[in-house]
């Protein structure tokens, strides 16, 4: 499956920070003269995209990502920095699933999620459902979802990002 430039860029940025061990609130600077907010580390993602797309198209990409809420631009002492938002991280994780093509679990077991999110958090509940759909979960009941795919790590990351882990139980089951 071919990804659009937005998904690919967000996934590349996310995986860069995952390698560094900083996926919660990753901050980076897009401009080569300013270096990086993490001292001594050059950001190869920006260099790659700036070279591929050119300076103007790269600037448009950054503007588009900001407008969509995937990134925030912050002013720091030495210049501007970009922060990957929760929405951006979520989109990057969805893109990673598309890249991997949805690998089935080797042991043949299924992942089952049961959640009970209060009515006052309706927005979070709807968000969780849409994320589960994107990770190829199927609804068994309204608050019970299952999948044969190996997406448990991505699911746990998303639950932590959106602070929903206290409302959700994850099970590994042999039969439906």
Domains and CATH numbers, the chain: 5-90 (1.10.10), 102-173 (3.30.70.240)
Query: What pLDDT digit, counting tens, does each position of 102-111 carry?
Result: 788 889 899 9
> How many whole angstroms separate alpha carbon 136 and alpha carbon 154?
12
Regarding pTM above 0.75, the answer is no
* Burial label, 118 (beta-carbon count in 10 A; 0-12, 13-18, 19+): exposed
Rounded CA separation 150/24 (Å): 22
Mean pLDDT (the chain) is 78
In sequence order, what are the beta bridge partners of 73?
82
The tokens of 11 are what?
């996934």
Q: Are the beta carbons of 25 and 13 closer than 8 angstroms?
A: no
Using one digit for the tens of pLDDT, what is the confidence trace for 94-150? 777 666 667 888 898 999 999 999 989 888 888 888 888 878 899 999 899 999 998
Written as six digits, the tokens of 151 are 């997406």
For residue 24, what pLDDT band results from cuts at 50, 70 and 90?
very low
**146 contacts 110 by C-beta, under 8 angstroms:** yes
Nearest to residue 15, comparing CAs of 70, 96, 123, 73?
A: 96
139 three-class SS: strand
């Amino acid at each position: 499956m071919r990804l659009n430039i937005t998904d690919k860029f967000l996934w590349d940025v996310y995986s860069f920070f995952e390698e560094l061990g900083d996926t919660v609130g990753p901050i980076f600077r897009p401009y080569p003269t300013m270096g990086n907010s993490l001292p001594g580390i050059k950001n190869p993602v920006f260099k790659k995209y700036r070279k591929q797309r050119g300076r103007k198209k790269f600037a448009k990409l950054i503007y588009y990502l900001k407008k969509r809420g995937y990134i925030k631009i912050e002013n720091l002492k030495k210049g501007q920095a970009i922060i990957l938002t929760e929405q951006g991280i979520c989109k990057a994780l969805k893109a990673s699933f598309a890249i991997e093509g949805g690998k089935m679990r080797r042991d043949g077991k299924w992942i089952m999620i049961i959640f009970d999110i209060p009515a006052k958090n309706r927005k979070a509940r709807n968000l969780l459902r849409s994320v589960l759909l994107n990770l190829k979960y199927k609804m068994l009941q309204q608050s019970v979802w299952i999948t044969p795919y190996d997406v448990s790590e991505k699911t746990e990351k998303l639950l932590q990002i959106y602070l929903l882990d206290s409302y959700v139980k994850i099970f590994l089951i042999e039969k439906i």
